[in-house]
Every structure is written in structure tokens, then in C-alpha cells.
Structure 1
Amino acid sequence: MKQLTRPEDITALKPEYQDYFHAIRARIPADRVIIDPVRRYAYGVDASLYSITPQIVVQARSIDEVSFLVQEAGKRHIAVTFRAAGTSLCGQALTDSVLIMATEGWQDYHIDDDGAKITLEPGIIGAMANSYLAPYSRKIGPDPASIKHAMIGGMAANNASGMCCGTSDNSYKTVLDLKLVFADGSVLDTADATSVRTWSKAHETIIHELTAIHDEIAADPELKHLIAHKFKIKNTTGYSLNSFVDFDNPIDILKHVIIGSEGTLALIAEITYRTVVEAKYKASALVFFPSLKESCRAVHDLTRPLVAAGELLDRVSLKSIEDWDGIPEVIRTLPDGAAAILIETRADDHETLEKRIAETKEVVGKYEILYPIEFTEDPAVYGLYWQIRAGIFPAVGGVREIGTTVIIEDVAFPRDDLADGVMALRKCMDDHGYGAGIIYGHVLDGNVHFVITQDFETDKGKAQYQKFIEDVCALVATDFHGSLKAEHGTGRNMAPFVELEWGKKAYSLMKRIKKAFDPETTLNPDVIITTNGLVFMEHIKSMKPVHEIVDRCIECGYCQVMCPSHLLTLAPRQRTAVQREISRMRLTGEDPERLKRFEEDYAYLGDETCAVDGLCQTTCPLSINTGAFTKEMRHAHLTPARLSGAEKIAANFESTSSAVRLGLTGAHAAHSIFGSQLMSFVAKKTRSITGDKLPLWNPWMPKAGKLPNQPALKGDRPKIVYFPSCTTRMMGPAKGDYDQRHLSAVMIELCQRAGYDVVIPENVARYCCGMPFESEGVFEVADKLAKELEGVLLKTSNNGELPILCDMSPCTYRMQHTMDERLKIYDTVEFLHDFIIDKLEVHKIDRTIMLHMTCSAVKMGLQKKFLDLANRCVTKVVVPDKVKCCGFSGDKGFSIPELNQSALTHLNEAIPQGCDHGYSNSRTCEIGLSAKAGFPYQSIAYLVDECSR
């Protein structure tokens, strides 16, 4: 990996941070201590409206490391903040001091009591925890809309709830035990009696203070009543004072007060949940009402367990998703002022489900509705409904005026006041100039979110926002005695208003809690407890325009899980954030040296290590393809020399291909003579001497490919056109591959055995789809090559009459999206699935295989066909859930091998014992996968062929 830290980065730190840096470097490896300005800035953004650059970012890997880091910070009176996925919305995962990441390396789990309990480390994504529990028909209680992206550490630290868990199944209600690291570096495992005794004895002050607060609340009926009232609805404002009412034992109190404490009292290094049953039967309905108030009135009469969820969607929020694929037409025709409630009911048997559907219709039918209520049990249909609900916040952010900041707030009203509260909130938004803002949320629990957009570039805009927030707080907390934060956590944007909601007496107890656990205020200062009444107006992030592709990004972080470089350099939202900062500095002209550094380092961090696979688009609610943005940037920086070089290669493509094959032949010969160990040693040394400019050889480097000859045609059989990609023509099998035949030979044999005549385009060696050139931003050359190939394919296929098979999925994807619509172009997987396998006699092999679905296969929607194809051939198929893009990215696996290695970090842990076969549908991806796994990955075509001989 490129060295990113420079000596001046250390001397630029304040003295106490320099001292801290040297102290922790004695134990933490250099690649996990980040002090270069670009990455520090990148880690200073999350899903909130704030941007705060840390002095040092440390990627911790264990409890012992966190304990050490916290102790060293305490010695120097340096503050630390803990962070997991960074999908939080209130700024609680940001700091200007030391940021400790608890993500990679924090993904262990174990399940007990037949799924009734699950123990999770903080770096596990919520949806992943549910996938572990799926075989037991159970799940964790919390179900935030961000569950596919948020991590357990943040979900527990914020007491995130969600759409169905209400107040009964959140982290507070379902936590059984915790493993914690405190401000003094001490560790407590509440499931271990010895740990509890030892820690309690050493921390008598905390135990005594928890007991004292418990007794004071018990002796104060008015305060006890206030706490009970506040937690009848969702409430994450301040600390969980209900801990002192619900429990008597100080350790039980401690466990529950830590939930929702947002890293201000301790790091949650492990949590054990009581799981909940995943109902077998579900049904959902979108019910439309003529007004917002009427929808809230109807929800008032719905309760659990009759319904599991009731989600409000106002007219403005529905407009934000009108253009999504598959959206019901009725949404586009709703009158202004209308609203919808998404209702879900669940049951363990179908008879109960039907009864609940009927009763729900009866209850809601008493109110004015626009259309008859229609429940659906079709997962595809109700899945779309819930996708709509989960995507509302990012979608609204995506339609905002470029340069403005999207802000989501999260309040709750007592159920009896819900309709009046929501209408008062709507009026407040309109009165302050936020008529385009939306209101939606979990109204079954009295909880609504509202989203506005704000221009913070002017003093007028800042003043408008400040006055609005102050008035909203007064409305919710004083007029309706509701919650200023229902489920998103207090953060720094509601910290100044905690006392307003709770009153002096309760707030004084919260300050005592903070002081007991963190007397020096080293853990996440200004979050929950603050003396800065304007902290919610400080460090607001810049949203300067960069490029139309990424300008709509709200930095929610939903892209990160798909990105092959996020463990190595930057995730997509971080690339956007850094580019926005570069844009800001260019506009203001400030700090030219800092700007120069950002531009220089971004070349590697943002450009060279971007795989441009576009998978980020598949989980982005706004379908932003950061890979496409990177290609545009490469094109913008294209030099005449590079363009000329690309044009020469394209003009002499056949000769270039021959040269590549010659080079591979030489490398293979050397490999055969010297062996893998010596070749690897020499290759690494040579690459090092050249400053990493020479591509890195690995033992799975392929032999030279071959040009297939036109097979004999029988003439009485249906024809198909086979276009062997330039990669297949240049690269054959590797020395260690089980099947030493060239892929084109296998493809032709499969097609012939299935009863097809195979037609290969004339002079096929001359043609390329242009994909490698497109990836590098050389669009002119890429399009010229694609046009030439399009012409020959039209001729060979009789203007699209014959189906066309391409054996390289990235090439197929490009061809499908750039060529004449008459051409019916199929990837290996789809062609084998739709045209071949049913015409063969397949004998399933008793074998466990690894399956890698390439980025292009995912983008083409081939996952189900890929799995079906493999399952018809072997007894067990493993698709690693933590491996997305392999990061080989054309030739980057050779030129920047650390990208491929980082992307495949979790591959080997998913390989079952005894498994030694892998399959995919891209030759270059297979090289990287083989190198990481230590056994061959080959095209899925080889497997189909083996099973059908």
C-alpha cells in the first residue's frame, strides 16, 4: 500500500497528540493509525449535518487495544469518540480529537439456547445478525430502516428501534449482557460473575452513585411518574433514566443505562440480545387518506399485536419516490394533502393472520379513506412497500436543491396527542419556510420524523434554522410533553435541549451519571451532556457542488457495505465528501498547500483504488454510481499522451493481444522452471525496485489464451453467435487450474452438445467491447471499439436474429448498455441457464463449491440464475456474505494488488473445510479469487460441462 503519512503530518499535530501518536504507535501498527489530512477529513463525516475532522483516527481490533488507547488518552486529557458504521444522524460519531473505529475485527458472534440468545460484536451489520438467526426463525429486536448498513455497536449505543420493534423489542428491552470498556480502560463483562465482582469492587464510586440515584428516584413520586410517562413512548433524549425505575440491582441498572448512552459512558464491545420470533406469515397494506390528520386519527385505534407496524408517509414524501421502478400508479395520482399509512400485520399461523387483516380493515375502515384497503401477502409487493418506506429520507435528500443540507429530526408525541401534535408540527414547518419538508415515521408508536433542507451558506439561513429548531423543541417538549429524540439518539444536535425536555431535576441526575462514569469528560464530549448551547449550530458540513453524478449524495453511508476499497482507502461517500472539500477550497482560495495535498493524495485514495464497479449504486437509495463519477474524473484529467497511447492500442488491438499472449507464455515458462516460491520472491523484489510500477505476478497468473477456430456447422441446428472476449482470447487457464482447456473450447463444446451450431465473428481477434478503455475514462476510444464490434455482431447475428453469448460478464454488461437494442447479448450465466442446461443430462456432483457473483452479474440481476445453475450441479454452494466486488478491477489486481487483497479480506473465513473449488464468470476476477483462496476459481461453464459429460 502507498505510504500516505508524511513526517509533517506528525509535526502538524498539537504537542499532546504528537505524544499520544508516538505512545500508541508502540502497540498499534502504522496502517491502523491515520493522521494524513485527507483520510482524517473523510472520517470526519457521517450521515448527520455535521463535519468534524479528528486529529487521529485509530482502527482498533480488540478490547485490549481499546483499553490501551483510552488509558493513553486519559493520561494526556485527550477526548476519544467511538464509532462503528457512521450511519448516525445526530453527530454523535464525530470528534475533533481521537476517533476510535470498532468495525473491522469486531465481527465475532455466537448463538445460544437454540437461537433465543445471540452475542454480537459491534462491527456486525444488523441485517447480518438477522441472517445468522434466520435458521432459527428468530431475529434481533431493533429494526431501524438502516439495518442493512448500520452496525450493532451504533444500534445499541443509540438504542435504535425502527418500524416494528416499538418500545418492547428495542435494545433496552432485549439486552441481556454487555462487555464494556470504560473511560479508565477497565473492562466489565456483565455475564461473568468474577468480572462483575472484581470490577464492582474497583469501581465502588460508580456502584454507589447508581444506587443513590435509584433511591432518590424511588423516593420522589413526581420524578418517578415523569420517567414512567416519558418512556411510554419512544424516547432517546438524554440517558435511560427508566433503568433506575425498572431495575434495583446496580449492575442491571448499569447495563440498561449504557444502552442509548452514545459512547459517552463506555464502549459496547459486545452485546448479548434476547432474540424475538420472526413471524411466519406477514401481510402489508398501503392505506390512503385524504389528509394527514385523518391518517393519524386512524392509527390511534391500532395497537400491537393486531398490527406490527404503522408507518406514516405524507404526500410530499410520496412524491419523492414517484419515479421509482414498480411504484403503484395510484401514488402518482394522489391529491395534495393526502397521506398514506403502511400497515403490517403478522402471525405464526395463517388463520390468525386472516383474522388480524379483517379486524384491521374494520378498525381503519371507520375513518375516511381514499381507496379500499388491500392487504398483500406477496413478498415482492410488500417488499416494495417497505423499500419505499426505508428509502424516503435519502430520496428526499436526493431531490433537494444542490448545495443545501438535508436534515432529519425525530420526535414523538403521546398517542392521544398524535394527530394534534403532527398538525402543529406541520404548521411550525410551514411558518418557518419549510413547506417542502416532509413528515413520516412510526406513528404506531407516536414517533414521526421530519426532513427539511437548509442552505447554511448565509447568516440568514443559519438564523432561520436555529429559530426553527428552538421553536420545534418548545412545541414538542413543552406544549405536548413529547420526546425530542425518539430513536435516533440525542447526539450534538439535541444536546442543548435535554434539560428543556426533562427539567432541572432529571437533568441534574444525568449529569451525575456522566460524571460517575467519565469524571474527566474524555468520552465523546458535547454529546448528550453539553454546556455549549449552540453546539447544534457548529461544524455544519459544506455541500459544495462537485459533479452532477454525486451532488445528490447525502453521505448516508449506505454505499459502504458494497465498496471493495472501504477497508483500504475510502468508501464512496468519503470520496464525495473529500471532493466537496476540494471544491470548497478551490472556490474560497484558502490554504493552497492543504488543497494541493488533498489533490495529490486523492489520486491514490479516491481514483487509483476505486474499482469503478458501480456496486455502490445497488444499495444507494439515490442510485448514485460513484464508479461512474471516478470514470468521469479520469476522463477530465486525460492527457493527450494517454489518449494517443490508447488510440494506438485500439488501432493495433490484434497485435497488442498477441504481445500480451507472448508475455504470458514467457511468464508461464519461467513459472514452470523456477516454481511458485522463487517466482513470487523475484516478482515482489522487482516490483519493489521499480516503485510498484511493475505489475505484480502471482502463482495464478494465466497461460496465454487462444483464438478459437470457427467450428464446423451442421446446418440443420439452431445457431448462436459466440463472441469470446478479448480477455478470454488473451488469458487461458492458470498452471494450477483443474481444467486446462481454454474457456472458448468449453463454451463451444457445451453449445454443440446442447444442439446448437456456433458461429464466431470473422476476424474476432480485432474486436473489443471497449470496457478496459471505458474504465480508464478513455470514452472516445471505448465507444469507437464498441461501435466496430456492434457492426460485426449485427452482421453475424442477422441484425439480432441470433442470440449472442459473451463469456466475460463485465464485457457483457457494457455491450448490453451501449449497443444496438436489436442485439440479444447474454452473459455466460444467463446463457447457460436459459439456453443450455435444460438440454443436457446433468449429474449432480457431491461437492461443496465457492461461488463468486461478479459485480456485473449482480448489476444484471443474475444472482438467482447463478445460484440455480450451481445448485443443479453440486450438493452445496457457498456465497460469502461479506465478499462483494473482488477488487481485481480489470488489471488493478496486478498494478494495485492491495485493492484486491483488501476486498477479499473475508473470503477465506467463509470457505468450508475440504472445499477446494471456486467458480465465477469473469477471468480476471478468478485470478484474484484463486490467489486469495489458494485453490482454483474458474468459469461456471467448466462446472456445467463437468456435470453434463
Structure 2
Amino acid sequence: MNSMAPLARDRSAATSGVVSRLSGLVRPDRIMTDPLYTYAYSGDASSYRLIPAVVVIVNTEAEVKAVIEAARAEGLPVTFRAAGTSLSGQAVTDGVLAVLGDGWRKLVIHEGADQITLGPAIIVANANKALKPFNRKIGPDPASQATCKIGGVVANNSSGMCCGVAQNTYHTMARIRCMLSDGTVLDSGDPASREAFAQKRGDVLDALHALHHEVMADAELVALIRRKYRIKNTVGYSLNALVDFHDPFDILTHLLVGSEGTLAFTSEVTYNTVPEHPFKSTALVPFPDPQSAGRAIIKMANGGVQLTTGVNAAEYIERRALATVEHLPPMQPLLPYLTDTSPAVLIDVTAPDPETLDIEVEKARAILASEGAVHIDFSTDEERSHALWDIRKGFFASAGAMRPKGTAMLTEDVAAPIDRLADFVIDLRQLLDDHGYEDAVIFGHALAGNLHFQMGDDFSKPGQDEKFDQFSRDLSDLVSVRYGGSLKAEHGTGRAIAPFVEAEWGAKAYAVMHRIKQIFDPEGLLNPGVLLNADDRIHVKNLKLMPLADPVVDLCIECGFCEPACPSAQMTLTPRQRIAVTRERARLRRTGEDPERLKALDDGFQHAGLDTCAACNLCSLRCPVGIETGTMIIGERGRRRGDAGHRIASLAAGNTGLVEAGMKLGVGTQALARRVVGDGLVDSVADGMRRASGRRIPRVSRALRPGPGAPSRTHALADAPRGEVVYFPSCATRMFGAPERIELADGRVLKLLPTPEAMLKLLERAGFAPIMPAHVDGACCGQPFTSKGFPEEAARVGGRLEAELATASRGGAVPVLTDASTCAKHLREHHKAVPVADSAEFLVSEILPYITVTTPVPVVAVHHNCSAQRLKEQPSTEAVAAACAERVAVLTSITCCGYAGDKGLFVPELNAHATRFAKNDVPEDCRIGVSTVSTCASGLSEHAGVPFVSLASLLEAVSRPV
């Protein structure tokens, strides 16, 4: 059976034993057993929650082997986790959870881009981004591809919207590197490795060879296996490996695909890439009823054979699902054509050239019209296509957010033979309604007969688990028996479908699956309870409770889409984990149970949840429903501030000029000390003082320079052809400076002005008469107070600046410009009386067309800070950078840099963690970078290996008359 024997001793002792055995083998900060972190990793994107005994972040095969050996010795099972976007409970455990860390980020494109080798921690979208210049991609394309990682894609044989059956991992994998539970490693592409494996584990190869011949001798079983894999199917093990291949090595490697971490650990995979045709036309086509939509899809499906030219995606979206997104702008043109029962089909037609695309679009149009499509509007507009597909990819979260607050989100994905799709849609809808899930929505990859549905349920209420149990059993009968389909088309079996595997496959095939598990993992050490399980009620055990905790985040379904944007991910907590822990704390407070555990969660949350959250809210850009976890954190910071904290904030808000002067003095003093006694002594003394103060004294890095203050110009110097502009240099720009000289790779020395002086020069050079507010020293938009949880003080400080800008701009009659994206964003959101432009957008539209770049630099690195991203200024920033340099290198490994105002001073490890891969993004001949916030520039200068300056400073230098 796929379950371990009962523990020989108690769980606490086993946990301590694992930690002890890993001592010296895995860094201590990557081994977690405390209540906060184990709960943070207790959920994946499914409706299940299990609290692990130990969480270990692993980075090497040696560490994986050590974890397996330690777990075996202490009687704990091991589960591997990549991104945790699993939807069937595959990535949760009450044993040892081995989480992929930074060590698995290998990405190598082979010559000609026909193949790509990937580590299991590579995000699918990043692999495809690397392949895009070659018009290639990997086959699997799950909707979660901006978050999910290769390790999970292989483990679940994930597919997606265009993948169909032919382009999943099973069919496009060229090579795999794996480790069995005894530590034996196999690299299927290395003859020496194969030979060594045959010598050491010939028993595995012999057993697979024998099982292959046994299956092939059973014609009825072979026929069943071939039929089951004509449609998408991830129920149970990949039995097709036993009939598709004869070589035991091929059988072994293909059995690993879709095995959900129950057979081995995958450390590397090489894919055969597939064409990504550059020409595409997209349409969202409404139909009068589900039957007509189903018939049209059947006609376009090419008998279930996946095509790369022509219709390669057709997503069925029922009317109730459309209702959850009809408020979004891309949906507006469709609304006049929708009735109460109208589904729609999102279609992509692709081709290698425009002429072929036109032909294929007309073919699709004819099919759609023949089945009564209400409105057919194909478009090659890339922006519109992305917007429509973003809606579809976000259905999992956006539809989930429509459920009643406090309920868990349930999802399943099923498949039926494509020629029965029209009837299948109707029967599935009826089943959901009959069981009281009228709020459920249906959508999915209908071109492959694959439908998804999701609904909400509150498992804290008596009887709800029984309701879900009965629904699951009736669903099994509908899909597996009546339609001969797949209960899991692409999400993997997990715990959700484990009790129904035998019902779908029959006793004979089910017995073969148990034989497979026994061959690979006779101890049941790897991910027990997943895929095969003797407990026929495992699917209704360990279900998530989703208690109300904070209105800002109550709609979260814990999908994890936010996590790649978070600078503190795998340092402390991610947005999903902050929400999950906040919910558990709220539940414990409400019930009064386990006050000791509640205290541990509350205490631990101070550093992991509050202090190390950048509160940048980039997570909201990844969240399909825009949940701002940072806003929740800011709210809790405010609630945790005591009277003393509010008094200090009030004092600072009333004396911002003194605060600014003190900061400039402190930064200037350390800079002078570095010049006099050297960096080493200053760092040593400063670090000692910081430790002695309990981290209350800020860390001042070598890259932090004293700022220039504010130029004393309150009135325009003279008339100018383009009129006046009010320029407000932000407090960060005034307090923190940048290098004045940079030696470029071509030997030139670039002399740079401080940002305020450079901005004034540029304005005059472009024909403006710049003026500044009368009282700049101490002026602040209030954003620093907001981020620390002092909204009243933020309003007071920001209000003073708003009045100052109103006076200087004559009530908004004169344009107002600032030089920090954070400042511009805050003023726009909280002080709207005077419109304020940010530097990037103003420079690209109002300065660049009126000046001449005379001495561009060879290459410039570009960082898009959080506020710039939220203001959608990336194109403007890159346009200015492109005007300044022959090449632009965008820092793709960084989302938020983690400097977060003053966190680079007080929590410098956040900045270091967030920028740990920045040097990989900087070309060898690059000597300068740009950012639109001076504090971000300081942190990047320290960790990216080149100095970062403002856009204005660089543009002024390269456009200086020669």
C-alpha cells in the first residue's frame, strides 16, 4: 500500500531526529520546525491542509539524499514541493516537506533551440520567455505558468490550453535526471549513468521489463490503456509507459512523469521544444447555448489530434463563469451578445506566416458560423489577445473569489471523449446543480475534451464534507463510467481522486499501479497517501478551513500566483503564507483553543510577516482579483503600534525638516568616515552598534551616499518657449545621492550631476522654465508614514506638500513633476488636488523629443521598481534608457528590490535576498544602471555589481552639448 507504517515513536521525537541528522548538511535557517513556518507551508493551491513536521529548503542532490535518509531513519515520509500550485493535495504532508530552493534554476537552450534543459525550480513562463526569440516553447502550458515550476509540471504531467495530449511532458521529454528513494541517481541521457544504474539497480530495470511483458500479453488491458490516453488523463500512474516503450530505461523515465513525487525526485529535465508560431489571431466567440458551442468545438478538434497550425486552443467558458469577469474592460464588447445562457469560446488560431493565418482563420470562422455563433470577431491585436487570455488564465482565482467569504474553493478537472463534449457539458452542469453547487462555474480546454469546474464550500459547517463526498462519488460515476472519461485530466490524482482510481481503471490496472509503487518505493517513503490510497474517504479529510480574518484578503483562495513577485519569498513568508497564517491566528483567537500556539504565531509573525514585508503590493499585480497583501500588513503594523510609536511618529511628522537634516548628517558622516579610516573599520563599528541596539540602529551600506539636498530655486529664471514646470525633488532624492563619476567599458568617464540639478538642466534644455516649491526642505508626500502604519501622520505630512504644490502650480495650472515613482504614486492616490507626473513618463514625452543625445553609453541596466510597475511605467523607463544607451538590459530576476523605503537600512537582509540574482542580469560590459527611486538605486548599487543612478542624471549626461 502507498502508506508508511505507523511511526515507531512520537512525532516530536522524529522531528528532532530529522533536524539532528541534517545538522551540518543543510544550513540551519533552511530547516523549519516552529509553528509559524510549518503552518505557512501547510497548504498548496488545493482544498487540503496538512501541517508538516519539518520543512527543509533543499538546493542540491546531496541535500535531497540527506533529507530522504534522515526521514527514513526517523520514520517520517517525504514530500517534494516546487511552487505549491498543486490542485489535488499533492504538495502537502504531515511528514517532511522538501521545498525546492535556489539551487535548481538551471536553464540551458541547446543549439537551434530544439531542446532546452531545465532545473525543477524554473518557472514555466521564464522558460518560454527564454525560448521566445527562437519562436519555440515547451509543450506544457498550464494556466498557472507564470507561477508553476518545472518540477511540478513533470510530477503532474501538467498540460494546459494549447498543449493537448501530444505536447505534454510525457511526449516531449527527451531526458530526465532523477534520484530514487535509496539515493541512486539516473541521468537518462548519459550512457555512463545508465550503465552505473544498471549495475546498482538492475532489480528495478528487471522488474519493469517483466511488468511490461506481462501487460503486453493482456490484450484487453493494452486496449484499455491506449483508449484511456487518447484524451487527457492524469489519474494514477502513466501506464502508457508500459505499452509505448520496450526499453526499461524508457519505461522508468516515463513512469516518473505524472507520478506526483511518489516514485523519485526529479532534478533536471530536457524538453524537445515545440513551435511557437509568431502569427496569431484571437476571438472570444459567444454562442446561443452550450450544445451549439460544444458542437463547434468538436468540429474544430481535428479528432483530438493536436495541431500547431490552425486552431490550437479553444476554451469553453459557460455563462456563469463569464459573469464573474464581465466587469473587466476586455469583456465589454461582448456583453451585447450575451443572454442568460450564452457560453463563449476563446479561440486561438496560429500560423507560421500571415497568408496561412488568414486561411486558417477563415476555416475557423466557417465552422463557428455553421453552429450559430452569435458574434465572430478575430483580431491579431497582441494586447487584446493577452488581455483575453489573462482573464482565462485567472479564472481559477477570479471565479474562486466570487464564492462566499469564509468558504474553501473546490476545483476538479475532468475529460470526456471529444465527440461527446456537447452532452458532457450539459450533464456536468446538471450534476453540480443537483448537489447544491449552483454557484459552480465551468470552463476548460475543450479542444481536448477537458473541462474544469470550481465551487465554494464551508467545511466548518456540519454535513458539508458528506455533501462533497456524495458529489465526488456521483462525479466518478458520471465521468469514469458513463462517459469513459478521466476524473483528472491534468491536475494530477493527489488526495482528491485517490479513492476513485480503481473505479476508473478497474482492478487489474489498479493492481499494476501498486506493483509500480512497490518496484520504486517499497517502504512507502515518498509522498504516501497521494495517487494510491486505501482510505476511501481521504478526499474529505484534512480539508481547508478558510475563516474570515481581514476584509482586504478574505477573498484569497491561496492559489500562490502572487509568490513569484514577493521579495521575501523563501527568506521569510510569501503573500499567500502571510494570509494563511493570518487566517489561522484569527481562527485561534475566535475559538480560544491552543493559546500557546496562537502566541507563537503572533510572536513569529512580527519579523516574518510584518518586518520583512516590503508592502510593495506587487503581489496584487499577479493576483487575478488584485488582493493587496501589503495593505493588510500595513493595517496590522498600525494596530500593533503602541502609544509610544504613535508619539514618535507624530513628532517626526511635525518635524520632517529635522528628520531630513539628521538623515543627511548621518549618511554624510559615515561617508566621510569611510574616506578617512576605510570601509572595513566603519562596517565593523557600525555592525557592532547595530547588534548592540537590537537592530534599531540602521545599517548604512557602502553604496549609500549623502544626498544633494534641494536647489534653492523657487521661481522661473526666465521666460521659456514651453512655459513653466513645477519640479519637486522627493525627500529620498534630497537625502540620498549617487556616484558623480563612472568609468565605462569603452574607457570613457561619465560625469553625472545629482538628480535635482540634472532635472533642472534637462527642463531648461528642453525649453521649460523650472520652478520649485517655496519650502522644499522637509517636504514629504507621506508615503513613509503610510507604509509604517501611521495613516493620520501620512495625511498630515502629505497635506502640507499638497498645499505647497498647489501654491507653486497656481492651483494645478502649471504642470508638476517629481523624480521618485513612489512619491508620484502616493500623491496620485492620496492627494489628488494637483496632478503629479513621474520622471519616467515626463522625460519620455516632454524632454526626449526636444533634446539630442550626443554621447550614449554602450549598455545600461534597468530596474523597474514597485511603484513604477504599479504605475505601468516600464515602457517609458525603457524608452528613456534606450535613448541613453546602445543596449538595454532589464533586470528580469528582480521584482521588488526589497529596499522598501528604509528596510534597506533596518532589514538589509531583505534587500540582499531580493537582489541575489541581480548580477546575472547585468552584461559583462555594463557599468551603469538606472532606477526611478534613489533608495532602490542604492540597494541595487550594492548588490548588482554596478552603480545605479536616476534616469535624469543619465539622460542629462548623455545629452550634454559637446
Q: How high is the TM-score relative to the length of structure 2?
A: 0.96
Q: Secondary structure at the match of 2:203?
A: helix
1:404 and 1:453 in contact (8 A); partners too: yes
Q: How does 1:317-396 map to 2 (within 5 A)?
A: 317-331=321-335, 334-371=338-375, 373-396=376-399
Q: Within the alignment, does 1:191 sit opposite 2:189 as a pair?
A: yes
Structure 1 match to 2:280? 282
Residue in structure 2 matched with residue 6 of structure 1 by the alignment? none
| Correspondence for 1:269 | 267
Question: Structure 1: how far apart are the matches of 2:330 and 2:415?
Answer: 32
Question: Given the alignment of the two structures, is residue 106 of structure 1 paired with residue 120 of structure 2, yes or no?
Answer: no
- The match for 1:847 is 858
Equivalence for 1:4:
none
1: CA distance, partners of 2:539 / 2:352: 45
Following superposition, the deviation at residue 424 of structure 1 comes to 1.1
Aligned match of 2:618 = 615
Query: How far 1:204 sits from its partner (Å)?
Result: 2.2
Consecutive unaligned residues in structure 1, runs of 5 or more: 1-10
Which residue is equivalent to 1:51?
49
Match of 1:945 among 932, 956, 961: 956
Confirm whether residue 745 of structure 1 aligns to residue 757 of structure 2: yes
Aligned pair 1:721/2:722, yes or no?
no
The match for 2:745 is none
Shift in Å, 1:391: 1.2
What's the secondary structure of 1:872's corresponding residue?
helix
* Corresponding pairs, count: 937
Distance 1:740 1:585, change over 3 A: same
Q: Summarize deviations over 1:53-88 as a string: whole Å, max 9, x none.
A: 111111111112112221232233321000100011
> 2:752 touches 2:957 (CA, 8 Å); kept in 1?
no
**1:258-657 alignment to 2 at 5 Å?**
258-302=256-300, 303=302, 304-305=306-307, 306-331=310-335, 334-371=338-375, 373-657=376-660
Q: Over residues 69-108 of structure 1, what are the superposed CA-to-partner deviations in whole Å (9 max), with x where a residue is unaligned?
A: 2123223332100010001111101110001112321101
Return closer, same or farther for 1:712/1:60 CA change in 2, 3 Å cut-off: same
Counterpart contact for 1:845–1:875, Cα < 8 Å: yes
1:716 offset after TM fit, Å? 4.2
- The question of whether the paired residues in 2 share the 8 Å contact of 1:49 and 1:89 is answered with yes
Instruction: Output aligned runs, 1:58-69, within 5 Å.
Output: 58-69=56-67
Partner SS for 2:436 = coil
Residue by residue, what CA displacement relative to the aligned partner does 1:524-545 show, whole Å, maximum 9, x if unpaired?
A: 0011111111111111112011
Q: Deviations over 1:737-771 (max 9, x none)?
A: 77564321111111111111111011222421101
Aligned to 1:776: 788
Moved more, 926-935 or 879-888: 926-935
The one-letter code sitting in structure 1 at the alignment partner of 2:605 is Y
1:156 alignment partner in structure 2: 154
Give, in angstroms, the shift of residue 483 of structure 1: 0.2
Cα distance between partner residues in 2 of 1:211 and 1:332? 60
For 1:95-128, what per-residue CA distance to the aligned partner results, in whole angstroms no more than 9, with x for missing partners? 1000111232110121213100111000000010
Question: Secondary structure of 1:365's partner?
Answer: helix
Q: CA deviation at 1:846?
A: 4.2
* Equivalent runs, 1:663-702 vs 2, <5 Å: 663-702=666-705
Q: 3-state SS of the aligned residue for 2:339?
A: coil
CA RMSD of aligned residues (A): 1.5
Listed as ranges, the matches of 1:863-878 within 5 Å are 863-878=874-889
**1:830 matches 2:830:** no
Q: Deviation at 1:638?
A: 2.8
What SS is found at the alignment partner of 2:329? coil
Instruction: Report which stretch shifted further, 591-600 or 728-737.
Output: 728-737
In 1, Cα distance between the equivalents of 2:724 and 2:918? 39
The residue number in structure 1 matching 2:766 is 754
Cα distance in 1 for partners of 2:122, 2:855 equals: 35
CA distance in 2, matches of 1:678, 1:481: 74
Structure 2, unaligned stretches of length 5 or more? 1-8, 743-749
Deviations 1:422-446 (A, max 9, x none): 2111111110001111111011101
CA distance in 1 between counterparts of 2:729 and 2:775 reads: 12
Return the offset for 1:163. Answer: 0.4
Contact 1:77 1:520 in 2 (8 A): no
Moved more, 711-720 or 27-36: 711-720
Distance 2:886 2:495 in 1: 53
- Secondary structure at the aligned position of 1:95 is classed as coil
Aligned to 2:868, the other structure's residue is in SS state helix
Deviation at 1:811, TM superposition (A): 0.7
Give, in whole Å, the separation in 2 of the partners of 1:723 and 1:16. 61
SS in 2 for 1:178: strand
Q: Which moved more, 1:908-917 or 1:167-176?
A: 908-917
Equivalent residue letter for 1:172: Y
CA distance in 2, matches of 1:104, 1:336: 49
Aligned ranges 1:83-232 → 2 under 5 Å: 83-232=81-230
Change beyond 3 A, Cα 1:574–1:915:
same
How far apart are 1:333 and its partner, in Å?
Answer: 5.9
2:747 corresponding residue in structure 1: none
Find the partner of 1:920 among 924, 931, 953.
Answer: 931
Question: Residues 403 and 439 of structure 2 are in contact (CA less than 8 Å); yes or no, is this contact kept in structure 1?
Answer: no
Deviation at 1:12, TM superposition (A): 9.5
1:805-824 map, 5 Å: 805-821=817-833, 823-824=834-835
| Partner SS state of residue 376, structure 1 | coil
Please state whether the residue corresponding to 1:380 is helix, strand or coil. helix
2-side partners of 1:592 and 1:653: how far apart? Answer: 42
Q: TM-score, normalised by structure 1?
A: 0.97
SS at match of 2:350: strand
The answer to whether 1:732 aligns with 2:737 is yes
Q: Secondary structure of the equivalent of 2:881?
A: helix
Determine if contact 2:407/2:456 at 8 Å carries over to the other structure: yes
Residue 251 of structure 1 deviates from its aligned partner by 0.6
User: In structure 1, what is the Cα distance between the partners aligned to 2:735 and 2:857?
Assistant: 33
Whole-Å separation in 1 of the counterparts to 2:335 and 2:521: 51
Q: For residue 23 of structure 2, what is the aligned residue in structure 1?
A: 25
Give the stretch that moved more between structures: 298-307 or 108-117: 298-307
Amino acid at match of 2:150: I
Match of 2:39 in 1: 41
Matches within 5 A, 1:783-794: 783-794=795-806
| Distance in structure 1 (CA, Å) of the matches to 2:647 and 2:589 | 30
Whether contact under 8 Å (2:101, 2:570) holds in the other structure is no
Secondary structure of 2:701 counterpart: coil
Percent identical residues: 39
Q: Deviations over 1:258-297 (max 9, x none)?
A: 1000100011110010000111211111111111122112
Q: Contact 2:738–2:938 at 8 Å: present in 1 too? A: no
Say if 2:767 is the partner of 1:767: no
Is the 8 Å Cα contact of residues 702 and 735 (structure 1) preserved in structure 2? Answer: no
Matches of 2:16 and 2:777, distance apart in 1: 59
Quick one: which of 70, 73, 78 aligns to 2:71? 73
Deviations 1:630-658 (A, max 9, x none): 11111222322222221221212222222
CA distance in 1 between partners of 2:741 and 2:568 (Å): 28
- Partners of 1:706 and 1:732 within 8 A in 2: no
Classify the secondary structure of the residue corresponding to 1:680: helix
Q: CA deviation at 1:332?
A: 6.7
Give the direction of change, closer, same or farther, for the CA distance of 1:631–1:414 in structure 2 (3 Å limit).
same
Q: Aligned-pair distance for 1:384?
A: 1.5
CA distance, structure 2, for counterparts of residue 835 and residue 271 of structure 1: 49
Shift of 1:565: 0.6
